[in-house]
Structure 1
Amino acid sequence: MKLLTEYVEHALTFERLAAEETNPALRKCFEMQAVAYRKLVSERAARYDLPPPSPPPVRARPQASTQPRARVALSKQSADFPGNEACGMAGMSAGSAAP
């Protein structure tokens, strides 16, 4: 059950990052990661005969802010998640520099 909760938390983090991102390519990568985590939650819930997770919330995109945004450091586990290859993030871990 703890793993399902962690997957949902990761999905919510990526959904929030996507909602705040102004770069369309990076926003798409964050959205793809959120979808992948939600898919994992659904598959695991079905495997353990648990109810399916609720759908992601529909949020309006915030206006661009002049305040600097804090970057979220993700664990190596989430950084190596399948799907990172499409966004050029394969093998990246928390604190690693972009190629």
Structure 2
Amino acid sequence: MPRVTFIEPNGTEHPVEIANGYSVMEGALNNSIRGIDGDCGGNCACGTCHVYVAAEWRERTGRQSEMEHDMLEFAEGVREDSRLCCQIEMSDTLDGLVVHIADSQH
């Protein structure tokens, strides 16, 4: 199973395995990762799964959809590398992905 490491704003790392086809948000919720709430259940209708994706992973995780971009306009601390992790679907090509939980999520 592919592995994702969630990094809290204080630097605490949480490596977890997430099955292919599940979103990074679902993996966070299933592993009780603090700061990822997923209030909308993964429907890209809130900003409670805001993370930062490093440049080396952006091509593999894909670009923000228009809907995701619109939702991020309401989030705090949005940067070029901001994503909603409900919109990142796990696959073997994402094994080793590292995401930083946005400061505003804590």
- Higher Rg of the two aligned structures: 1
TM-score by length of 2: 0.27
Higher strand content, 1 or 2: 2
Relative contact order, higher structure (CA 8 A, sep 6+): 2
Higher helix content, 1 or 2: 1
